[in-house]
Amino acid sequence: MPTSRPLVLAAAAWLLAIGAVPLLRLLAEALGGGAVAAGLADPAVWRATANSLRISLGAAALATAIGAGLAWALLLRGLAGRGVLLFFSVLPALVPAQVMALGWIQASGPASPLLLALGLAPPLGTPNPVYGAAGMTILLAVQSAPLVMLAIAALLRRVPGEAVLAARGLGATPEAALRRAIWPLLMPGLLAGAGLAYVAALGNFGVGALLGIPARITVLPVLIWQRLSAGGADALAQAAALAVLLALLAAPALAMQSLAARRAPVAGRQPFAAVPLARPAERGAFVLVLLYLFSVLAVPMLALLAASLVPARGMELSAETVTLRHFAAATAPGAHTAAAFANSLLLSLGAALLLALAALPIALVLRARAVRAASAATDLPYALPGACTGVAAILVVLSLPGGGAIYGTLGLILFAYLTRFQALALRPVAAAAARLDPSLDEAARGMGAGVLRRLFRVHLPPLAPALAAGGILVALTAVNEVTVSSLLYGPGTQTLGVLVFGLQESGNSPLASAVSCLALLLMAGLMALATLAARKLPAGTLPWRP
């Protein structure tokens, strides 16, 4: 491996600049003044903290139950058509949070065009049931359940298939073999998935804003956004203190994930194979999974489409009322939609490219102590809620000479994306680099090849699939991002998530629904391209192809 001192120093400097520096700046701002004391004396902070805790804990518990159920049906018992079912089961985590929230809003309440068309709308004046803590908890659980299922899927690759054979040989039924021999081995994955679900719910801005603000239930990411939007001399210090509080609330879940990772089973000689269900039970499980996916995914998306096709909010969808004028307005020259699409694509693809390129040399020198220590600083921004990264990015940029000129620009959002997603791009490359034969580098060095030549001629070709995998994961994640961009955007730098939120907040639900439908088309296109490339990517790269 290329372990020259300049390469090690460059890798460590990059990781420190986008990882450790923002976190340390955030901590210094939070503890440097009286923001902590002011926060402790502020009843609004305590209310937001209590709301965040009860909603996130409830969402994590429900997500764990749903994710375990999906894992049992699709991974352990291998239902018929599981490839398609896995794709749609993962989809709630990939659909932008604000789009899912808007779809749920349009699928319920007296103003739902879909319910009005079906004659199922409740009477006028009936509160929309998704507004409030219960609706937020359920939606966050639905969006986080795939994380639990995927954590179990990752661990299932290490579970020895011999365990089932041994249990069956002792006379256990298939279900008893899974319950007694396999589920105990999967408990670390279930534990890690529960932690992921909790952190994801804790840091979710889109659901908290669209479902919480109308019900006057404020969670910490929304409170941070409100404090920054209000401005004032102490706004940044208050936001930093709230971001640190959010990080402290996430810390137990991060520790739980670390503990779960250390308890992963040793891989067996024979991979685990799904245990088929008896025909009647298989049909029942298949119907239950379909009903779940239809209710949490198909109905909200159909309601979103219906809301985009009516002239105004609260109108029934019919042959007489259907219109495409909102799509026309969204795609008209000069509309904000085109700029938001361009910004989201530019930021997500730009971050994916830069982070994939940076991951190549970092992965090759990761064994160096300085690089290994610095890489830990990039794990935290990805693990912590996005609001922490957003506030930290603002503080770092404003600390630079002339940093005020960067504030509110795409450059600031891009820096925050680099900070937040470096760990996501590095993981597949680091795993692939650890399997490289060191003799290749030694041979090239013996022939007089320099560091850069060995980097691009010897190591890049075998690592290219892993680099592409990391870039694809970053692009798919960043294009949906709303928490960081909602804190950092300025005039002309709106992303798709921010645009949808702004349109809904201004009361223009049909146009917000039309933009959301276009965002879903963009997401579907990116997922289709990623699927086409899946054959050349490492196994398990795409979340819907575990």
Q: Could you give the CA distance from residue 374 to residue 369 in angstroms, rounded to a whole number?
A: 9
| Predicted pLDDT of residue 446 | 65
Same domain, yes or no, for 345 and 482?
yes
Q: Could you give the CA distance from residue 182 to residue 290 in angstroms, rounded to a whole number?
A: 25
| Predicted pLDDT of residue 43 | 94
| Predicted pLDDT of residue 31 | 86
Same domain, yes or no, for 294 and 150?
yes
Let me know if residue 156 belongs to a domain: yes
**Residues of the chain where predicted confidence (pLDDT) is lower than 50:** none
Closest CA to 104 of 342, 297, 290: 297
SS3 157: coil
CA distances in angstroms from 115 to 63, 105, 138, 279, 315, listed in the order given:
27, 12, 20, 36, 10
Q: Could you give the CA distance from residue 86 to residue 83 in angstroms, rounded to a whole number?
A: 5
SS3 160: strand
Q: Could you give the CA distance from residue 537 to residue 56 in angstroms, rounded to a whole number?
A: 34
| Predicted pLDDT of residue 22 | 93
| Predicted pLDDT of residue 532 | 81
CATH of residue 300: 1.10.3720.10
Same domain, yes or no, for 212 and 80?
yes
Residue owning tokens 């192809």: 545
Phi, psi of 433 (to 5 degrees): -65, -30
Q: Would you say 480 and 96 are in contact if contact means Cβ atoms under 8 Å apart?
A: yes
Q: Give the up-direction half-sphere exposure of residue 300: CA atoms within 13 A in the CB hemisphere.
A: 24
Same domain, yes or no, for 182 and 48?
yes
Q: Would you say 397 and 29 are in contact if contact means Cβ atoms under 8 Å apart?
A: no
Range of the domain at 87: 44-219+256-310
pTM (2 d.p.): 0.91
Spell out the residues 6+ positions from residue 512 whose beta carbon is closer than 8 angstroms to its own.
102, 500, 503, 504
Q: Would you say 520 and 301 are in contact if contact means Cβ atoms under 8 Å apart?
A: yes
| Predicted pLDDT of residue 271 | 75
Same domain, yes or no, for 3 and 139?
no
What is the crossing angle of helices 21-32 and 386-399, to 10°?
A: 90
Q: Could you give the CA distance from residue 417 to residue 382 in angstroms, rounded to a whole number?
A: 10
Residue owning tokens 């359920």: 138
Same domain, yes or no, for 301 and 383?
no
Terminal Cα-to-Cα distance of the chain (whole angstroms) = 30
Same domain, yes or no, for 24 and 93?
no
Residue owning tokens 């929304």: 222
| Predicted pLDDT of residue 249 | 94
| Predicted pLDDT of residue 526 | 85
Same domain, yes or no, for 394 and 511?
yes
| Predicted pLDDT of residue 207 | 93
Q: Would you say 60 and 249 are in contact if contact means Cβ atoms under 8 Å apart?
A: no
Same domain, yes or no, for 149 and 198?
yes
Q: pLDDT tens digits, residue range 139-193?
A: 999 999 999 999 998 888 888 777 777 777 777 787 888 888 888 888 988 999 9
Question: Where among 284, 310, 336 does a domain terminate?
Answer: 310
Q: Could you give the CA distance from residue 222 to residue 48 in angstroms, rounded to a whole number?
A: 9
Q: Identify the DSSP state of 427.
A: H
Let me know if residue 431 belongs to a domain: yes
CB atoms within 10 A of CB 301: 20
Same domain, yes or no, for 201 and 342?
no
Same domain, yes or no, for 168 and 293?
yes
Residue 43, judged by CB atoms within 10 A of its CB (0-12, 13-18, 19+), counts as: exposed
Q: Could you give the CA distance from residue 453 to residue 191 in angstroms, rounded to a whole number?
A: 44
Q: Could you give the CA distance from residue 151 to residue 332 in angstroms, rounded to a whole number?
A: 43
SS3 271: strand
Phi, psi of 271 (to 5 degrees): -65, 155
Question: Where among 279, 310, 341 does a domain terminate?
Answer: 310
| Predicted pLDDT of residue 203 | 92
Same domain, yes or no, for 57 and 174?
yes
Question: Where among 310, 335, 353 does a domain terminate?
Answer: 310
Phi, psi of 473 (to 5 degrees): -65, -40
Number of domains in the chain: 2
| Predicted pLDDT of residue 267 | 63
Q: Could you give the CA distance from residue 181 to residue 165 in angstroms, rounded to a whole number?
A: 10
Let me know if residue 316 belongs to a domain: no
In terms of DSSP H, where are the helices of 401-508? 410-433, 438-446, 451-453, 460-478, 483-488, 496-505
Let me know if residue 237 belongs to a domain: no
Structure tokens belonging to residue 127: 């509160």
